[in-house]
Homo-oligomer: A and B are copies of this chain.
Amino acid sequence: MTQPTPSSSLNARRRRRTARDIQNATLGLALAHGFGHVTTGMIADAAGVSLRTFFNYFPNKEAALAGEPLRFKNFDFSWFRASRQPLLPDLERLLGEIVADAGIDRERLCRIEELCRTDTNLQAVFANSLQGLVDQLADLLVARMGEDARQTAELVAALVGRALANAYRASVHDDEPTSDVVVRLTIRQIHAVGALLHPVDGDERG
């Protein structure tokens, strides 16, 4: 399992640190001047790297704002693909593993939440930063439900991605947000959407 460049090597740690430095610089500058008035040059200076190095880390300033994107690691999700249980509980477990693994950085989430409150466009930026995760989830769902259901799988994956982004933002109102809180908030939103689309019995009005 020893990788060519172990994730604990000096190189790897510095890379993570630089990526964080760049993201923090971006968040700070965006809060101070408004994201639209922040240039890649300003970010590079504030992070202490050259402009060229900035682009070695992120393809554009939007990506720098969102930081290293959430992704499925090499976990074993065959149980999810094989399961025929109702989707939502399985999804809850799946998200639980990913979100817990990524950890919660409340400081950063607070800054992100404030940015989203002051600039509506940034909500989409952060939601889009989950696109990689959404694509991977769509693949998992297709493996679970069959190729015929690809369209539905992609819609559900996109829905989960947006709900997850909302949940991260909402979790900052908790004093000590945990991955459980984020996942619960996510599932709750998805459930509300489902109730709206398929009203049954005591569900709210459409």
Contact = CB atoms under 8 A, between A and B. Distances in A.
Interface of A: 83-88, 90, 124, 131, 145, 149, 151-152, 154-156, 158-159, 162-163, 166, 189-200, 204-206
Contact of A90 (B83, B163, B204, B206): B206
Residue from A88, A90, A131 having most chain B Cβ neighbours under 10 A: A88
Contact of A206 (B87, B197, B200, B206): B87
Contact of A152 (B84, B152, B193): B193
Contacts of A83: 206
Given A86-B206, A159-B158, A162-B155, A197 B191 contact: yes
A155 to B, nearest CB: 5
Nearest to A123: B154
Contacts of A192: 149, 151-152, 155
A65 B200 CA distance: 42
A107 to B, nearest CB: 24
23 contacts: A84-B205, A85-B206, A87-B197, A87-B199, A87-B206, A88-B197, A145-B204, A149-B192, A152-B189, A152-B193, A152-B196, A154-B162, A155-B166, A155-B189, A155-B192, A156-B196, A156-B197, A158-B162, A159-B193, A191-B197, A194-B194, A194-B197, A195-B198
A87 B200 CA distance: 12
Contacts of A90: 206
A193 B155 contact: yes
Given A87-B206, A155-B162, A200 B197 contact: no
A199 B86 contact: yes
Q: Output the residue of A154, A192, A196, A205 with the most chain B CB within 10 A.
A: A196
Nearest to A199: B86
A145 B203 CA distance: 13
Contacts of A197: 87-88, 156, 190-191, 193-194, 197-198
